[in-house]
Structure 1
Amino acid sequence: FKRKNVFTFSLCLWCFKNNTDGLPLDMATESIDDMYDGCRSEARRKETSAQATERKTEHATVIYMYTKVKYIQQTFNKAVITGKHKYSTNKFKFHYFYFYLVDAIQILHHKHKPCRTTYHRTWRHYNHNVIDTNMRFGGFILTGLTKQSSVFNGNVSCFEIQTCFGADVAYYSATKQMGQVLIPPYEVFRITDVLTSDSWCRVVYIQSTKIPRTDLNCKLNHNEISTYLGYRC
């Protein structure tokens, strides 16, 4: 029993020592980042009022599910962050969910001021030797308008974010709290500062470059859109 405890303790020390560099804050080049820019306007013009109503229901549903079920949020984000080469295939299982979440963010974004400051906290440790570099989160990040927001948790790494592509989804969220801003995976940020001695936690300050990176923009062809979404965007 003692030998087992010694081995476990040694393993924990090894893990800690080998993770001091932290997770990368980079451009998340393996992520899915389609923002459907320029490939759905024709369908919108042909959309009937009944179809438009149904689409609004889908928007509300995916936002509610994303904020309600942590397992869906985690599994979906993992697939988005690593799914670049699966996007045009049925190996990516979330085309429908991804499309309506992006679409909802873009519609809600246009209804509010273009840029705002938000906050995000996590238990993850990130590499802090990244000042004056660009990054993307790679997945969808739920942030709050205050540091004490209950939509996230953790006190290891904290972000003060100026987002210009995120949207306030509080009205449709399962969490009843004002000021919940969902940031899409294609937004690019500049890391302007990192503070490791802040009383809040290790703070990473990032500002939107206001220029998205969307390697997979309009990647799906008409047949793939019809198959995966049932909607000609």
Structure 2
Amino acid sequence: MKRLYLITGGAGGAGGAALTVGLSVLIWWFVSDHSAPPPNTSYQLSTVPEAVDDMYEGCKGEMEKVNDKFFKKEFVGTFKEAWKHAEQCSNKQPNPEDKALTKIHMQAICAYTSNITYDEFNKAVRTGKNIYGSSFKFHYLHFWLTTAIQTLNNNQRCHITYRKTKSVFSGNVSDIIRFGSFASSSFRTNLTKYGSETCFQIETCSGAYLKDYPDSGTDEEEVLIPPYETFNITQIIEEMDPSRLILITVGLVAVGFLQLVTSLSVPLDMAPQAVDDMYDGCSEKMEKKVNDVYFNKENKKLFKVSWGQAKHCANKPHPEDEALSKNNMQAICAYSNIIFKEFSAAVRTSKNFYGSSFPFHSLHFWLTTAIQIMKTKQGCHITYRRTGIEFTGTVNSIIRFGMFASSSKRKDLTQFGDETCFEIETCSGAYLKDYPVRGTDEEEVLIPPYETFKITQIYEDNDTPPPPPPPLDEDGTGPIMGD
């Protein structure tokens, strides 16, 4: 495990936005792909605008009518053959953590991974947008496979996976792309039977590890990525070996961040594309605009669901936090629940469209001001952050996380990973007390996107741990700028 020590360099926000390979970013390399195109062809990566990318937000109950309406109509051809074939492999009890997974979910996974219908199915998914309401042939399988991924993903976090293909894929750095189909990937790097012309390394936060539910069991360690997840190409490497593209997700739907790197490591930097607005001198004007314009515009889809669920934990503030509004508390609850992946992804990447199509002005403002209000009574904190990703940097580098970065007063939260452990001294972050949806369990300290840090020490597990960094003054000065 690598350990990095960070001490704050103060607030570095300038009212804009910054994009970074943030702390919670995960790297994916697509290796296994049932849905890969024919071999020896070249394809331009894009957002696949004609894809059937329904997430079924807010209408899952209504869509369950596919049991009656669509199944009888669509139970023909390869789907009929695949569904019958999947009957036996779906006769199992779901794992205890997947209790919401139904037999139909498991049968959909088995049918898709049996390879009987995947080619026809994924072609229809990639191209069926214009006929989705009329002659699209796979409503039933699409719905149950999508909700299976969402059910499994609800119990997981992001993943690093791999995907190899027999075809050459092309794209440009900074392009936003989607696979536009149900894209298979794997934890394994050695599934060369799927090709070696293009190798994707991918971070997905919407895909789900399928465990032993596929037709082939756990042999391929498959992670299935839904059609709606988007990525941003950050690097492309062409060598004598096959082209390599590394994708890092920034979330769902139209928010994605795909990064191409050469290894399973992420460099720490200043996150220059992040939304880092501190609202200095304009908080009252921004609050009015949020209330009058942004909230009504943004209160839809996942934000609407998350905001509604957060009402129950937005209770009376502690006496020392009397300046916290209900919206501030509700923002903390919403962030710490189901929306954090999409929100963090957008914050990391949205500088260039902060003034136009950034979808989270309301949440960003209320969360930023919540941190600032609580911070006034707290001083600096020593916190810890564990990740499942290896992050790289050099001593004396100045970096930012470029998003709202969760950290903890506890050292033992190993469920978040043990590849890199950050020991952080933050003077802009705030201890959230019992305001998060999980209460005080994680003793969370939330660091804003604009706070800058100086890397003071790095050591590997085999090294002798260095002494802890010297403490800072409460204003974040001292050893940072002067030593």
Do the two structures share a fold, i.e. TM-score over 0.5? Answer: yes
2:104 to 44, 58, 67: 58
Measure, in 2, the Cα distance between the counterparts of 1:43 and 1:141.
23
Residues 1-233 of structure 1 mapped to structure 2, 5 A cutoff? 22-40=42-60, 56-68=102-114, 70-89=115-134, 91-113=135-157, 115-128=158-171, 130-149=172-191, 153-176=194-217, 177=219, 179-197=221-239, 199=241, 201-213=242-254
Measure, in 2, the Cα distance between the counterparts of 1:79 and 1:104.
19
The one of the two structures with greater contact order (alpha-carbon pairs below 8 A, sep at least 6) is 1
> Secondary structure at the residue paired with 1:77?
helix
Question: Is the Cα–Cα contact under 8 Å of residues 170 and 178 in structure 1 kept in the other structure?
Answer: no
Between structure 1 and structure 2, the one with the greater Rg is 2
> Secondary structure at the residue paired with 2:122?
helix
Paired-residue identity, %: 33
Q: Which runs of 5+ in 2 are unaligned?
A: 1-39, 65-98, 256-300, 302-483
The CA deviation at 1:123 is: 0.6
> 1:107–1:55: structure 2 CA closer, same or farther, 3 Å change rule?
closer
Q: One-letter code of the match for 1:183?
A: I
The CA deviation at 1:147 is: 1.1
The CA deviation at 1:169 is: 0.9
> Deviation per CA, 1:51-73, whole angstroms, max 9, x where unpaired?
xx9971111111011111x2400
> Secondary structure at the residue paired with 1:62?
helix
> Deviation per CA, 1:148-201, whole angstroms, max 9, x where unpaired?
137x611111110000100011321112326210000000001111111164x2
> Secondary structure at the residue paired with 1:126?
strand
> Secondary structure at the residue paired with 1:193?
strand
Measure, in 2, the Cα distance between the counterparts of 1:95 and 1:103.
12
Question: Is the Cα–Cα contact under 8 Å of residues 135 and 188 in structure 1 kept in the other structure?
Answer: yes
> 1:54–1:135: structure 2 CA closer, same or farther, 3 Å change rule?
closer
Q: One-letter code of the match for 1:34?
A: D
Question: Is the Cα–Cα contact under 8 Å of residues 157 and 203 in structure 1 kept in the other structure?
Answer: yes
Question: Is the Cα–Cα contact under 8 Å of residues 211 and 221 in structure 2 kept in the other structure?
Answer: yes
> 1:139–1:58: structure 2 CA closer, same or farther, 3 Å change rule?
same
Measure, in 2, the Cα distance between the counterparts of 1:42 and 1:100.
13
Q: TM-score, normalised by structure 2?
A: 0.35
Count of residues in correspondence between the two structures = 182
The CA deviation at 1:126 is: 1.4
Query: Between Structure 1 and Structure 2, which shows a larger proportion of helix residues?
Result: 1
Equivalent residue for 2:369?
none
Q: Which runs of 5+ in 1 are unaligned?
A: 1-15, 45-52, 218-233
> 1:204–1:37: structure 2 CA closer, same or farther, 3 Å change rule?
same
Q: One-letter code of the match for 2:126?
A: I
> Secondary structure at the residue paired with 1:23?
strand
Question: Is the Cα–Cα contact under 8 Å of residues 108 and 167 in structure 1 kept in the other structure?
Answer: yes
Q: TM-score, normalised by structure 1?
A: 0.72
> Secondary structure at the residue paired with 1:139?
coil
Question: Is the Cα–Cα contact under 8 Å of residues 50 and 126 in structure 2 kept in the other structure?
Answer: yes
Measure, in 2, the Cα distance between the counterparts of 1:55 and 1:147.
28
Q: One-letter code of the match for 2:145?
A: L
Query: Between Structure 1 and Structure 2, which shows a larger proportion of strand residues?
Result: 2
Measure, in 2, the Cα distance between the counterparts of 1:170 and 1:195.
31
Q: One-letter code of the match for 1:196?
A: E
Q: CA RMSD of the aligned region, Å? A: 2.5
